[in-house]
Structures are given as C-alpha cells and as structure tokens.
Amino acid sequence: MNISAHLFAAFLPNRYIYPMETAYITTPLGTARITGDANGISEISILTEGNLSEKIPATLKEPAQQLQEYFDGNRTQFDFKINPQGTDFQQKVWQELLQIPFGKTVSYMDITKKLGDVKAIRAVASANGKNPLWIVVPCHRVIGTDGSLTGYAGGLWRKKWLLEHESPTAQQSLF
C-alpha cells in the first residue's frame, strides 16, 4: 500500500482498504448486487434490472452460492463473513436483526425493547431501512406491532415474497 492510501485509511478507519469487488446474480426478485473484499461482504442489494456477472470474483463466490441456496429453499442461515458499514447504533440494530430466526418475525417495538429504549422506535426503523445486507441481515422479518407489513426498501411485494418463502408451512398468503 502506498503512503497516501495508508494515510487515507488512518483518517477513515471504518472505510475499506482492500479493493472492493462486485458481482451481479439473478434471483427470483431481481438482480442482486454483491459487494465485498477480503474483510467481508459490505453490501447486498436488489436491483430492478442489471447485467449479470460473467465471472464471479473469488471473494464473492461463497456469498453468491449461499444466496442461491437460500432461494432454492436449501439454506436458512448464512455463514460468510460480513462487514456492513454504519453508525454504532445502526450496527446494534443490525446485530439484533441477525438474531431473528428464519421463518419468524418480530416488530420494530420488539427490537426497540431489546435495545433498552422504547422511545427509539423511529431510529430503529431508520437503521432497519439502511441495512446494507439484503436478506443476510434479515430486515424483511421486521413487521408492524399490529402484524402488518411496513416499509421495506426493496418494496413491500418483495418483503411479502421473502416472508412467504420462509414460512414453515405452505399457505395461500400470509398478508
């Protein structure tokens, strides 16, 4: 690493110092963009359209494979290294999201209570909406206190699809 890159990393300790790689894969919900480096996957997002990767970089092969297994119904947990970037509060919320089991849902209020401040419900909802790791950090499993589907950056139709995909019993429709 040259001296300017070293200084840049020193002033921005939460930023990336390895070259980021990106892959685009197809899913039933659109094209997924996976971005990461040797430190882990920093972003998985869903796009309406996009060009698929002809070759997936080595650092992204395992996440791409695990996402495919998830959509094929053969995976309920992810075990590749993640490295999402966010504030300390966002990181705490995302850690709580990782505790939600496959096939289960919790409310924003449930997460707020676990974090110890029921007045932080809007901040929890905001952090949930800024989750950079689609599906892997399961923000889609968070619903309204009354059981309703609420905001989802990928669109409510995708949230509904994901919850039905994870439902332990085949149903006509959960929502």
Catalytically active residues, by annotation: 139
DSSP code for 82: B
- Contact between 156 and 125 (Cβ < 8 Å): no
- Secondary structure (3-state) at 24: strand
Q: Are 44 and 18 in contact (CB under 8 A)?
A: no
Cα dihedral 76/62/79/87 (nearest 10): -110
For 24, other C-beta atoms within 10 Å of its C-beta total: 16
